[in-house]
Amino acid sequence: MAIKHLNQIELADRWNISERTLERWRWTGEGPAYLKIGGRVVYRLEDVEAFEADNLCKSTTETPNDLYA
């Protein structure tokens, strides 16, 4: 089973955010886990999906687990 990876451009497109936001999140330790291989940054799809699940909210009064723990 092949592991799917997303590069910074693909993940930014998936979430409709800027690439710079992902860069800032890496610098501050926010955002999903990533791999840095030979200077290239990639995100495993399973880590992206886990990050999305951890930040799922059911109402506007909820806060995502990762951001305010």
pLDDT 10s digits, 21-34: 999 999 999 999 99
Q: What is the pLDDT of residue 65?
A: 64
Return the higher-pLDDT residue of 3 and 7.
7
pLDDT of 38 above 80? yes
Residue 38 sits in a domain of what CATH number?
A: 1.10.1660
What the block records as the tokens of 7 is 């590069």
Domain of residue 47, residue span = 5-68
Number of domains the chain contains: 1
